[in-house]
Amino acid sequence: MRRRGLHALLQLASVAVPPPLWARPFTASAPCAAAAAGGPRLFRKLLVANRGEIAVRVMRTAKRLGIPTVAVYSSADAAAVHARFADEAVCIGPPPSTASYLNAEAILEAVRKTGADAVHPGYGFLSENAAFAKAVEGAGAAWVGPPEFAVEKMGDKVESKKFAAAATVNTIPGWAGVTRDAEHALEVATDIGFPVMIKASAGGGGKGMRVAWDERQLREGYELATQEAASAFGDSRMLIEKFIEHPRHVEIQVLGDKHGNVVYFPERECSIQRRNQKVIEEAPSPLVTPEMRQAMGEQAVALCKAVGYHSAGTVEFLANPQRQFYFLEMNTRLQVEHPITEAITGQDLVEHMLRVAAGERLSITQDQLLHFSGWAMECRVYAEDPARGFLPSIGRLQHYQEPQGPGVRCDSGVQEGSEISMYYDPMISKLVTHGPDRAGALAGMRAALDRYVIRGVQHNAPLLRSVLDVPEFVAGNISTAFLKEHYPTPEASAPDSLPLTPGQEDQLLALTAMLWVGRQQRLAGGGTLQDEVQLVLTMGGHGGRQVPLTVRPADPRFLPSPSPSSGGGARAAAAGSGAGQGLEVQLPHRILYVRDAGGSTAQLVRAEVDGAPVSLQVLASGPRQLKLQHCGAHRLVQVDTPLSASLQRHMPPPQVEDYSKTIRSPMPGTLVSVHVRPGQRVSAGDEVAVVEAMKMRNVLRCELEGVVAGVEAAAGAVVGADQVIVRFK
């Protein structure tokens, strides 16, 4: 009776005061306002011509709208989530994407075979292929995307700028054509004002590019860039344009229908990039003011109208700290980072795309979109090794646990056991958090990354987590050069060398002590800790700083109560699900109260430090060490008794093998051939060996000259990552 009354009360409460948008669990398929209206199905059957997370994400919305879905998959993806998630799945060819996901003929055959009457292309693959769009419509299915004309025009860099200029969109000041010579370049530069960028017309990858801040630099740079371009591309034609200092990448999501209506959404900032690839995005941008938003939005809409755009698209701008912005390009598809826009506006962009494709009018007004809610952030989690220059890391996910909870959305196309193959983009997921403000979204993201368990491949979650603690990032003071400036080398991006603040280090030490004591108690038959235990922790193993600490059972009277922001219910709930004993950890200069909050696994420890929830990951454990991940940073912590710690000084340093004079396999694979013999003299750049991994041949070359001492693996052998193949004298 009583319970029922309470339940009713709770129901009433939830009706009376709906929680703010950011506090609601949100998924890819949060219905938009019009969805509730029911009505006939938009399409009989939707085929998603893509794979991985985006295929799953599109299908989620389709399922919610009651549209049966068709997946296409390559033979490498037979067990992939997207192929199992759909109502029907069609194999469209062998693993290489040219033979499968880019194989328009095979996909069209799948459309015909399954009777799909709509095709959503996702992003990448055939999403911006006008010919494919046309063929889909030719096959009698609706193309869930923009019109061919817009795709064609916006796909061409020169053409799109012309359209933009004509639609009075700000473009980067510069010479629209090719400069004749250095004199002409100088003339153009003086006209648009220094600094300028000298850019090879055929350019790419930073080759044939120079920044000039004055006349002298321009003359020198022009010369050098011309030579570079001539040798790199065999084309020495040069462009000159205004160089944007501290550029930030800000983009506007647009949405149009087939009736000439176009709206713009609040901007997204995507300045955190590596090699021109976005890794962290947020909406809105900390840079943008309402005036700037309106100006950008109106220009984006003008451009769309100029090309007759409909469906979802994105107009990308470069902005400088003075809030001047310049058109970069337009992407005529759904962007990877669309969920952050969905989070703050409560709209489902895929649903809108489907409705537009079905000929419906836009159901939202520009006004609605300017009243967005809170702040959202997205991290792209990739299977790659930051310590090896972001080389893709392939393998199976041995353990995989996505963060969940209010304000967290993880769009992925993988599960525990899924394979990250070398054939496709190694993105594991897009992790999105939504909070009442930027600090809230940021805190949510930190906590989400801390409890994101990924084992079996190298990945960038530690680096992403580390970025979230960089003061400049926290202040919103970012640019597209952020990662290069703060993590200049592969070593600096390696999880082992990511920094921890002294406070975070204290937490790590206290939690290590908690784990250690728990383990010792279990090995001694269980029960709780009765007496105090003295431990000495050494971070970084041999030669590291020794920190003595004392662990004792915490007096419950002195246990800190959890702060309201950390969710007071969490601890009460945890207490019923295996919460551990409260411990008082006396560090040299402070005391921390820790406890296992319950629900921990062998990989993820959910704990409380001074009442606040903290997640810690266990990467490896040995009889005397634990390798842990805390706030992204990986640390080896050695645990000793005071006695063994005092004896540590007699221990010889571990014999670390000197790899400077070796050639090692960069990844697991097969050694195809070895091109050197012992005793042979080699010089820098010489081909030493070839390793094949998943049909990709990697040529290993000498970095220095020297003499071969020995060859340690024979052609045909299976080699592991880091295995020594050749040793030099």
Partner 1 sequence: MLLHVGKALPGLTATLPVTWAAATRLATRWMSTADPMTQRHDMEDLPPYASNPKWERVQAAKAEALLGGGAQRVAKQHAKGKLTARERLQVLFDPRSFREAGGLVQHRCHDFGMEAQRYFGDGVVTGSGTVFGRPVFAFSQDFTVAGGSLSESHAAKICRLMDRAVAAGAPVVGLNDSGGARIQEGVMSLAGYAEVFQRNVDASGVIPQLSLVMGPCAGGAVYSPALTDFTFMVRHSSYMFLTGPEVVRGVTMEEVTQEQLGGAATHTTKSGVAHGAFDNELDALSGMRELLSFLPLSNRGALPRTPCSDPAGRMCPFLDYVVPSNELEAYDMLAVVQQVVDEGHVFEIMRDYAQNIITGFARLDGRTVGVVANQPAVLAGCLDIDASVKAARFVRFCDAFNIPLLTFVDVPGFLPGTAQEYGGIIRHGAKLLYAYAEATVPKLTVITRKGYGGAYDVMSSKHLRGDINLSWPTGQIAVMGSKGAVEILFRGHPDIKAAEADYEEKFNNPFQAAKVGYIDDVILPRLTRQRLCAELETLAGKEVWRPQRKHGNMPL
Bridge-based pairing state of the strands 88-93 and 69-74: parallel
- Is the CB of 234 or the CB of 654 nearer to partner 1? 654
Residue 316 has which token pair?
């990308």
Query: Whose Cβ is closer to partner 1: residue 98's or residue 415's?
Result: 415
Residue 284: cis peptide before it, omega within 30 degrees of 0: yes
649 is catalytic: no
Q: Please report how close the Cβ of residue 715 comes to partner 1 at its closest, in angstroms.
A: 18
Closer to partner 1 by CB, 5 or 623: give it. Answer: 623
User: What is the closest distance, in whole angstroms, from the C-beta atom of residue 583 to partner 1 in the complex?
Assistant: 16
**Helix (H) / strand (E) containing 417:** none
Q: Smallest gap, in angstroms, from Cβ of residue 691 to partner 1?
A: 16
Tokens standing for residue 307:
């090309």
Least separation in angstroms between CB 417 and partner 1? 4
Q: Which residues of 46-84 are buried (b: 16+ CB within 10 A; e: fewer)?
A: bbbbbbbbbbbbbbbbbbbbebbbbbbbbebbeebbbbe
Shortest spacing between CB 654 and partner 1, in angstroms: 5
CA torsion 271-272-278-284 (nearest 10°) is: -50
If the CB atoms of residues 503 and 710 are measured against partner 1, the closer one turns out to be 710
Which pair of tokens denotes residue 26? 């949100």
Q: Which is nearer to partner 1, 173 or 541 (CB)?
A: 541
What distance in Å separates the CA atoms of residue 108 and residue 90, rounded to the nearest whole number?
11
What is the SS3 assignment for 6? helix
Q: How far is the CB of 538 from partner 1 (least distance, A)?
A: 11
Measured CA angle at 287 (ends 345, 375), to 5 deg = 30
Dist CA 579 CA 137 (whole Å): 58
**Cα gap 297→317, rounded to integer Å:** 11
Q: What is the token pair recorded at 516?
A: 């250690």
- The least CB distance from residue 522 to partner 1, in Å, is 5
Q: What are the start-end ranges of the E strands in 1-112?
A: 46-48, 69-74, 88-93
Residue (of 349, 466, 461) closest to 402 by Cα position: 461
C-alpha–C-alpha distance, residues 478 and 249, integer Å: 10
Nearer to partner 1, 11 or 75 (CB): 75
Q: How far is the CB of 89 from partner 1 (least distance, A)?
A: 17
- Contacts for 125 with CB less than 8 Å, ≥ 6 apart: 49, 50, 97, 101, 102
User: Given the complex with partner 1, which of 483 and 529 has the nearer CB atom?
Assistant: 529
Shortest distance, position 650 Cβ to partner 1, whole Å? 5
Q: In the beta sheet, which residues pair with residue 586? A: 550, 591
Cα-only R_g, the chain: 29
Looking at the Cβ atoms of 396 and 675, the one nearer to partner 1 is: 396
For the record, the structure tokens of 114 come out as: 């399954």
CB of 420 to partner 1, least distance (A): 12
SS3 683: coil
Q: Which residues pair with 89 in a beta bridge?
A: 71
Identify which of 438, 409, 435 has the alpha carbon closest to the alpha carbon of residue 21: 435
d(CA 483, CA 271): 9
Question: Residues 51, 423: contact at Cβ < 8 Å?
Answer: no
Given the residues 333, 380, 635, 727, the one annotated as active site:
333
Bridge partner residues of 242 (DSSP): 196
Angle at which helix 290-307 crosses helix 148-155, to 10 degrees, equals: 110
- Which of 218, 394 has the CB closer to partner 1? 394
Interface contacts to partner 1, rule CB under 8 A: 79, 396-399, 415-419, 456, 518, 520, 522-526, 578, 600-602, 621-624, 640-641, 643-644, 647-648, 650-652, 654-655, 718
Cβ neighbors of 314 (< 8 A, separation 6 or more) are 251, 252, 253, 254, 330, 331, 333, 335
- In the chain, what are the helix, strand and coil shares in percent, each to the nearest 5? 35, 30, 40
Strand pairing partners for 691? Answer: 671, 698
Is the Cβ of residue 93 or residue 518 nearer to partner 1 in the bound state?
518
Nearer to partner 1, 46 or 539 (CB): 539
| Residue 606 C-beta: closest distance to partner 1, Å | 12
Cβ 102 vs Cβ 30: under 8 Å: no
Residue 174's DSSP bridge partners are 241
- Which residues are part of the catalytic machinery? 333
